[in-house]
Amino acid sequence: MIQVQNLYKHYARVKAVDGVSFSVGPGEIFGLLGPNGAGKTTTIRTMMDIIKPDRGTIELMGQPVSEASKARIGYLPEERGLYQNYQLLECLTYLGALKGMSRPDARERASALLARAGLEEYAKRKIKELSKGMTQKAQFVAAIVHDPDLLIMDEPFQGLDPVNTDLLKTILQEEQGRGKTVILSTHNMNQVEEMCDRILLINHGQAVLYGPLDEIKARYAEHAVLLECDALPEGLEGVQRAERHNRTYELILEPEATPKSILRQLVEADVGVERFEVATPPLEEIFIDVVESGR
């Protein structure tokens, strides 16, 4: 869907983006992560052709990104707002028309999306009369009103309560189900783990982690297993030490031991195992480790 190759954008004292490459396939939810000031927004703005890169190429469906390709992208920027004095539906219709839709089509699609987002009764209200949460949802609707193929969402769930967060997640997953591609930029690692297939972690303008989320987590897996059972048998070979957290044991393994050898011993000892998994750190921990080590 989108391919970014050797992207560079340097300012006087800052290398905002420094040789970043990645690609996002069709129908994928892709996580674009990084600490504040890492270069995510600059990367996104160059993808949107809002700022020009110093070097590098960005292709959307094999074509260089240009003014024309903007109509196929739905963008929810982190710094966002809507016309306070416009009626909600009027504003969404205008933004849809700016993306190349006819006004009647934009109006119809905006009305349908407002209904989906639970905002239909506010369609004629001025935006300044809406609550913060409603405005957030309205901005989300504004980003997808023109039915784009690629959705770039920068902190889409910011300031939303859990119910509305869940609603927008569902809408995003529905869009993915319709074959749309989503690039999700957020600091909430739980949401990334829940929604993303692959991720790119940028730090100091450079890609520091890139690939399928499972593979990255496996790469950072500790040499340990998590075990949930009634009682831990004694004398398990290859276990350096065991730590108990309520009913869960974390078994730190000897270098030559494997999770498979531990599982075999448990089966042989006829232990009632309720859960057995290779211990992987949460993405948040990996994020902090990688970012801290880059300082």
Q: Which residues bind other proteins (CB under 8 A)?
A: 11-12, 45, 48-52, 67, 70-71, 73, 75, 77, 79-84, 86, 94-95, 97-100, 139, 142-143
**Residue ranges of E strands in the chain:** 2-10, 15-24, 29-33, 55-60, 63-64, 73-76, 150-154, 181-185, 198-203, 206-212, 224-229, 239-245, 248-253, 273-278
Nearer to other proteins, 99 or 187 (CB): 99
CB of 79 to other proteins, least distance (A): 5
Nearer to other proteins, 100 or 104 (CB): 100
Q: Is 136 helix (H, G, I), strand (E, B) or coil?
A: helix
Rounded CA separation 235/228 (Å)? 17
The first and second tokens of residue 223, run together, are 């040499």
CB of 76 to other proteins, least distance (A): 8
CB of 280 to other proteins, least distance (A): 36
Nearer to other proteins, 151 or 236 (CB): 151
Nearer to other proteins, 9 or 204 (CB): 9
Rounded CA separation 54/293 (Å)? 28
CB of 5 to other proteins, least distance (A): 20
CB of 75 to other proteins, least distance (A): 4
Residue 48 amino acid letter:
M
CB of 186 to other proteins, least distance (A): 17
* Lateral strand order in the sheet of 273-278: 239-245, 248-253, 224-229, 273-278
Contact 276, 227 (CB under 8 A): yes
Nearer to other proteins, 61 or 98 (CB): 98
Rounded CA separation 139/134 (Å)? 9
The first and second tokens of residue 135, run together, are 């405005």
Nearer to other proteins, 59 or 193 (CB): 59
CB of 137 to other proteins, least distance (A): 15
CB of 227 to other proteins, least distance (A): 49
DSSP string, 76-117: E-SS----TTSBHHHHHHHHHHHTT--HHHHHHHHHHHHHHT
Nearer to other proteins, 101 or 160 (CB): 101
Nearer to other proteins, 51 or 288 (CB): 51
Contact 199, 191 (CB under 8 A): no
Q: What is the CA radius of gyration of the chain?
A: 23
Cβ-Cβ contacts under 8 Å for 124 (sequence gap 6 or more): 87, 88, 89
